[in-house]
Amino acid sequence: MLRLTGLPLQIIASVVAIGVFAATMWLWPRFGGRSWKAWLGRIGAFLATQISVLVAMGLIANGYFGFYSSWTDLLGTNGGPGTVVDHQPNAAVAITGEQKFYAQQGSNPERVGLIHKVDVKGATTGLSTDGFVYLPPQYFQPEYAKQKFPMALVLAGYPGTPEKLISLMQYPASTLEAIEQKKLPPTVLVMMRPTLVGNRDTECVDVPNGPQVETFFTSDLPKALAGEYRIGTDAGSRAVIGNSTGGYCALKFALRKPDAYRAAVSLSGYYTAPTDETTGDLFGGSPQLKQENDLLWRLQNKPAAPVSLLLATAYDENNYTATQDMVKAFKAPTKLSTITLDTGGHNFHTWTREIPPALEWLGKHLTMPQAA
């Protein structure tokens, strides 16, 4: 069955709506009489056009905003009441809910995996955020019961939400497909927003006398998750991938904290933190700190980090020239790869084209599940 949030269903519904509208225009002169048949024809054509257009628009809006994640969710048949989850005081990770993942193989966690909704509290920074953890099917299979899994942190852009990483960008579905095709080892996805302090765009910076966002993602988060899930604790088993702001954060984490993440993927990311009304003063007026967060400057002036980077862009995208500058600047032992589309904007459609090859690339840079 076609996924409720999938692009194929939206295309089919749009084509049907266009076809019904065209048919109405062609048949309308035949309904010009005053007979009851003509009246019924006009009413039927009008309703068919309105319904088909509304269905197409509804599917497109639902795919973008993620109101309903599946057919069972839409029909109200997706299970019974919620499950009460008991929490320990001051727990670093609180599992606040479970979300079944539906695929062609069904919804059994041993076949398609499972999604947890979590709240994570940083032990050293005091920062906290919510997000989603996708556990691959192997996590629930007996033969992997004593295995630790690699982890990929997935960051949305600003002001994106982790929900869109599931409903719109289809990260769990793409990950499951990559695992089944042996392009990616069984990997735990941790899907979050890069914004931890209200609506402030901190650009994943440790702000002087402010929120220590980089430390949260590079220290607090990996430790907290390793305490709750069977996730590898070495940097080689951890990667980070993001789009736009999330892509900038991904590269920065790897370049600045290679002991936290050894691989990073940037989809349409930029390479230096902007300063505007959404960010405020990120660097406390320090030119040195601002320079330290300029990724091109780091490649040109800092000792090369032993990390692997993937930069995705398009020939007509705004970051294309800056990406070429990054390619020219890197040096060993840093490894750098690129994805360059013929055309593509700063949007979800472009990023969903880049995610499958990005996951395959990650499969070559993440360690396989290890003995616990």
* 121: alpha, beta or left? (left if phi > 0; alpha if psi -120 to 50): beta
User: pLDDT (tens digit, 9 = 90+) per residue, 246-273?
Assistant: 999 999 999 999 999 999 999 999 999 9
CA 171 remoteness from chain centre: 6
Pairwise CA distance, residues 244 & 249, whole Å: 9
Please name the fold of domain 93-371. Rossmann fold (3.40.50)
What value, to the nearest 5°, has the Cα angle with vertex 309 and ends 305 and 312? 150
Round to whole Å and give the CA distance between 2 and 229. Answer: 32
Domain regions of the chain by residue span:
7-75, 93-371
pLDDT in tens, 87-133: 555 568 999 998 887 777 778 899 999 999 999 999 999 999 999 99
| Burial group, residue 170, by CB count within 10 angstroms (0-12, 13-18, 19+) | buried
Q: Are 334 and 306 in contact (CB under 8 A)?
A: yes
pTM > 0.85: yes or no: no
**Phi then psi dihedrals of residue 262, to 5 deg:** -100, -5
State in Å, rounded, how far the first CA of the chain is from the last one: 38
Of the spans 35-49, 217-231, 344-358, which averages the highest pLDDT?
217-231
Instruction: Quick: pLDDT tens for 318-353.
Output: 999 999 999 999 999 999 999 999 998 888 889 999
In this predicted model, what pLDDT tens digit does every residue of 161-196 receive, in sequence order? 999 999 889 999 999 999 999 999 999 999 999 999
